[in-house]
Structure 1
Amino acid sequence: MGINLATVGVVMAKRGMLTPGPPHRQARQLYTLARWGFGLAGELRQAAARSPKRVAIVDDQRGRVTYGELLDRSMRTSEALRAKGFRPGDKLGLLARNHVGAVEIMTGASAIGVDLVLLNTGLSGGQLAGVVEEQGVTGVIHDDEFDAAVSELPDTLPVIRESDWVADVDATPVPETVDKPNKNGRTIILTSGTTGTPKGAPRKTPSGFGPLVTVIDRIPLRAEDTILISAPIFHTWGYAAMQLSFALRATIILQRKFDPQVAKDTLEREQCDAMFAVPVMLQRMMELPSDPGGKARRPRLRVVATSGSAYPHGFTQRFMDEYGDVLYNLYGSTEASWVCIATPADLRRDADTAGTPPLGTIVKLLDEDGREVTDGETGRIFAGNELVFDGYTSGQTKDFVDGLVSTGDMGHVRDGLYFIDGRDDDMIVSGGENVYPIEVESLLVEHPAVREVSVFGVPDPEFGQRLAAFIALRDGESLTEDEVKEHVKANRARHVVPREVHFVDELPRNATGKILARELRERITEPQA
């Protein structure tokens, strides 16, 4: 699953990472990487060593911050954490949106061996308290807007507001140096928790350039790009985007909350080279009204990289018709990191594909007996690469076969492309027939009246299980339950017709854009006889 050095060199040269610079800065960059490694603290330091005056982050409140200034603030943060009593191995919870202060805390904690637990901003107070207890968090720093959520945390737990923390860091002198700990702090990312309690998954620190090369070989990011990161940096995709950006010495644009119009304006104003997002963000951008005067320019985007959930059928091609062939979609998970990456060419061939495995990645589709299925057959997806996780913080893990981890999804291969057929626990047996909800979702989302839809199985006293559909309609459109059922009956087998249809204003989603199936299930009361 490794990548040979020759390939690493070729890809890095192609992406502008080996461009000559001042010899003393290049030497300091290499020394820093050798000393600090490829974690977040090391990547920041190598970027600051090579390009200290380059803008690292454009923050929607604090403006432009250079790599040199960001490193100074990170070192101050390390000192401020020590002054608060944090020591290597302690667990600091961070409840924050996308902003430069959050990045300072992430890099500052890692640099002194403190483990960082990235808390989901969509958690309720009760959920937050449960996660903090389960993860053994010893202190929390949070954005001021989350005062209500943290109010349910134990009184004995140190809790610091962002505004107070910024004042502490401002008052802390820049230390001459921060000694590297024996072991860098871990970053613990929570699973999405769409169907249950979020679990903590420690993120591996890359041992070399392999993971970076794997991604930029398929997704053509370049050194010193300007990158808008709209995906939440507390979750896998946004965090990975930040790591990649530091490695490339890119200029990162962060905005606390995603607004489709603001994002679109930012892409044009800053002439961004790339954007990292989750699919629903692009869907909201495409729903914006057309520019009546025709004055809006297409941004100079070369890459729009997304991950986190599937797109509605046909959406990817519509997006590329509007923005150009710039869309790259990574299929992966918190546990497996990346599995497949779909390029614009892949998505033009088939809008629903997950693409193909990138460099250094092994993917196998296995049947119930652990044997590989043939092309066209559906199997459980197992994947392996350099950053597959070692298990949850609770001690639990996922299924492994020959070093490959289960993604929890079912899929198939057709004409060399990989496709996702749904979660391995989504398939239901209704009246003796196997039913995949995604088959119905893909059909319904193509209906002109449907904005978004979620279909899943619920218990049924007569058929064992039945399909329930939740549908949000487009503005001004109407649709009845009978019309939905007739539409499915006319285009699919009778046994996949939903037995109940619910219309909602919008589907509940978490901060990473995934639909919260458990909230929808709670709206279904007693099984219908």
Structure 2
Amino acid sequence: MAVNSPAFPVSIMSAAYAGVPIVPLNYRLSVDQIAEQIRELDAPLVVVDPAYVAAVQAAGVPSMLIDDFVKLASEIEPLEPEMTADDSVAVVLFTSGTTSKPKAVLLRHQHLMSYLMQTIEFGSADAETATLVSNPPYHVAGVGAVLSNLYAGRRLVYLANFTPSAWLETVRAEGISNVMLVPTMLARILEHLDGAPADTPSLRGLSYGGARMPEPVLLKALEAFPEANFVNAYGLTETSSTIAVLGPEDHRLAISDPSQRHLLFSAGRPVPGIELQIRSEAGDVLENGETGLLWVRGSQVSGEYQGLASALDASGWFPTRDRARLEDGYLFIGGRADDTIIRGGENIAPAEIEDVLVNHPGVRELAVIGLPDDEWGERIVAVIVPATEIQIDEGEVRAWCRTRLRGSRTPDQVIVIEEFPRTDTGKIIRPKLLSQLVDAGQA
């Protein structure tokens, strides 16, 4: 339980060498939440930053300060190596819990090695390349950053606490060649730049993922980082990170050819070893271009939770609970199935409205949700954080949407707020937003 630092790869490899799982914990949770998660683990030793010792003490389990652990790692003679079983648990990650209580996902060595073997060319990185890791250790992207970059042979640089200025300064000072950012981080960097170029000549690869990328943010980023190759990486904790990639060539094609601009909304094509299916609610496999629920299968897919039955079906398919469609081999994600708005008996995906409304000049950030309604069951509500010093007029926004969306997709209501409740990786916590609006008398 610690912030980003070189101690994390040391801890991951130490645990793997010893044949025990590593469980990166979310230090941003409350003391009670952290203690509850620790108590779910079998005989844990918690390696902890001094700032978070109180949470470990509340759980009543053995602990060691992170600096002491790293010191021991550099001094003690290594154990005799033993083969660790492929099917033993390597990493346990708690889900973010945006829609339900966090579940402990079990990632076995065979899942992680499959991910690496299928997506990483071992030792392929040039000696001068370096990656800047800003994602927290308890996110699957943080684990993936350690494994993929170590196996590629790329130097790891850690940013303990993200700020736009610190990120830019580190990229420049360390000659960073590769980064991975969630959309919220990228948006903050662009706000900090305020239209100026990033001036990061060493940066060659910019990956993004973890949440939906607004088109205006992506277009501004492509201008600010002209030397960088952009990659959209889509994956889940249960799939050992990335399962689909929209590569640099796709980004360049979408920018140069207006008829291919829709590719910017795509999560790309599946990585080697991954199969995708789109199914209806009834379980029928849908055709090209039809929207349904995304199912995924492959040797890197876990679908296992501690204390619960496997989520895989009899044929090994995992239900992501994401709404999606496949068009000519490209995957388009339409948001979580749990977020679907049912208005007058019609299912409406918030993403199709958000993708339009995000281009309104007065919108900085937004989320479209359904609020309880006596007549319609749910009404469509656009919740907006406005751009700086811009007054949002509800009637104007609804009229703007009506010219670009079907009538049934036009928001029934527009609500302006100052900020969204989010996870620390930038995802909007929609149930919390909904409860806040209900408590405020909006429903």
User: After TM superposition, is the score higher than 0.5?
Assistant: yes
Distance 1:421 1:169 in 2: 43
- Verify: 1:247 aligned to 2:151, yes or no: yes
Distance 1:274 1:522 in 2: 39
- Read off the aligned partner of 1:122 and give its amino acid letter: R
Q: In terms of Rg, which structure is larger? A: 1
Q: Is the 8 A contact 1:111 1:185 kept in 2?
A: no
- Verify: 1:504 aligned to 2:410, yes or no: no
- Verify: 1:478 aligned to 2:384, yes or no: no
Corresponding residue for residue 413 of structure 1: 326
Q: Is the 8 A contact 1:346 1:353 kept in 2?
A: no
Moved over 4 A (4+): 147-151, 207-210, 526-529
Distance 1:235 1:244 in 2: 14
Instruction: Please show how residues 433-444 of structure 1 align to structure 2 within 5 Å.
Output: 433-444=346-357
Residue 328 to residue 137, structure 1, CA distance change in 2 (3 Å): farther
Q: TM-score, normalised by structure 1?
A: 0.74
Alignment deviations for residues 104-151 of structure 1 (CA, whole Å, 9 cap, x no partner):
233223322332221123322232233223345634332233356556
Distance 1:189 1:402 in 2: 24
In structure 1, list runs of 5 or more residues that go unmatched. 1-94
Distance 1:187 1:208 in 2: 9
Instruction: Please show how residues 357-436 of structure 1 align to structure 2 within 5 Å.
Output: 357-400=270-313, 402-436=315-349
Corresponding residue for residue 184 of structure 2: 280
Distance 1:124 1:229 in 2: 24
Corresponding residue for residue 24 of structure 1: none
User: What is the DSSP-based 3-state SS (H/G/I as helix, E as strand, rest coil) of the residue aligned with 1:275?
Assistant: strand
User: What is the DSSP-based 3-state SS (H/G/I as helix, E as strand, rest coil) of the residue aligned with 2:171?
Assistant: helix
Q: Is the 8 A contact 2:118 2:273 kept in 1?
A: yes
- Verify: 1:166 aligned to 2:89, yes or no: no
Alignment deviations for residues 179-198 of structure 1 (CA, whole Å, 9 cap, x no partner):
33564662101112111211
User: What is the DSSP-based 3-state SS (H/G/I as helix, E as strand, rest coil) of the residue aligned with 1:309?
Assistant: coil
Displacement of 1:280: 1.6
Distance 1:210 1:201 in 2: 17
User: What is the DSSP-based 3-state SS (H/G/I as helix, E as strand, rest coil) of the residue aligned with 1:400?
Assistant: coil
Corresponding residue for residue 460 of structure 1: 373
Displacement of 1:166: 1.9
Displacement of 1:214: 2.8
Residue 209 to residue 334, structure 1, CA distance change in 2 (3 Å): closer
- Read off the aligned partner of 1:112 and give its amino acid letter: A
User: What is the DSSP-based 3-state SS (H/G/I as helix, E as strand, rest coil) of the residue aligned with 1:166?
Assistant: helix
Displacement of 1:103: 2.9
Q: Is the 8 A contact 1:196 1:518 kept in 2?
A: no
Distance 1:509 1:220 in 2: 37
Alignment deviations for residues 153-172 of structure 1 (CA, whole Å, 9 cap, x no partner):
23x33344x3xx42465368
Instruction: Please show how residues 92-107 of structure 1 align to structure 2 within 5 Å.
Output: 95-107=1-13
Distance 1:326 1:417 in 2: 19
- Read off the aligned partner of 1:287 and give its amino acid letter: E
- Verify: 1:259 aligned to 2:160, yes or no: no
Which of 53, 77, 87 is equivalent to 1:176?
77
In structure 2, list runs of 5 or more residues that go unmatched. 255-259
Corresponding residue for residue 206 of structure 2: 304
User: What is the DSSP-based 3-state SS (H/G/I as helix, E as strand, rest coil) of the residue aligned with 2:264?
Assistant: coil
Corresponding residue for residue 106 of structure 2: 202
Alignment deviations for residues 425-471 of structure 1 (CA, whole Å, 9 cap, x no partner):
22222112221111221122111111111122233332122223322
Displacement of 1:510: 1.4
Corresponding residue for residue 57 of structure 1: none
Q: TM-score, normalised by structure 2?
A: 0.87
Displacement of 1:488: 2.5
Residue 150 to residue 517, structure 1, CA distance change in 2 (3 Å): farther
Q: Is the 8 A contact 1:192 1:198 kept in 2?
A: yes
Q: Is the 8 A contact 2:303 2:312 kept in 1?
A: no
- Read off the aligned partner of 1:276 and give its amino acid letter: M
Displacement of 1:278: 1.8
Corresponding residue for residue 353 of structure 1: 266
- Read off the aligned partner of 2:176 and give its amino acid letter: C
Alignment deviations for residues 316-363 of structure 1 (CA, whole Å, 9 cap, x no partner):
233222213511111111112332101123232321111111222211
- Verify: 1:138 aligned to 2:44, yes or no: yes
User: Percent of aligned positions with the same letter in both sequences?
Assistant: 29
Aligned pair count? 427
Distance 2:343 2:31 in 1: 37
Residue 173 to residue 425, structure 1, CA distance change in 2 (3 Å): closer
Distance 2:153 2:302 in 1: 26
Distance 2:151 2:424 in 1: 26
Q: Is the 8 A contact 1:275 1:303 kept in 2?
A: yes
Moved more, 514-523 or 483-492: 483-492
Corresponding residue for residue 435 of structure 2: 522
Moved more, 140-149 or 242-251: 140-149
Which of 221, 236, 242 is equivalent to 1:319?
221
Q: Is the 8 A contact 2:239 2:303 kept in 1?
A: no
Distance 1:148 1:450 in 2: 41
- Verify: 1:491 aligned to 2:404, yes or no: yes
Alignment deviations for residues 222-256 of structure 1 (CA, whole Å, 9 cap, x no partner):
25431111122221112111101111221100011
- Verify: 1:332 aligned to 2:238, yes or no: no
Distance 2:111 2:284 in 1: 32
Q: Is the 8 A contact 1:121 1:511 kept in 2?
A: no
C-alpha root-mean-square deviation of aligned residues, in Å?
A: 2.8
Q: Is the 8 A contact 1:261 1:285 kept in 2?
A: yes
Q: Is the 8 A contact 1:110 1:185 kept in 2?
A: no
Distance 2:386 2:151 in 1: 42
Corresponding residue for residue 28 of structure 1: none
Residue 267 to residue 524, structure 1, CA distance change in 2 (3 Å): same
Residue 181 to residue 209, structure 1, CA distance change in 2 (3 Å): closer
User: What is the DSSP-based 3-state SS (H/G/I as helix, E as strand, rest coil) of the residue aligned with 2:109?
Assistant: coil
Q: Is the 8 A contact 1:485 1:498 kept in 2?
A: yes
Moved more, 379-388 or 310-319: 310-319
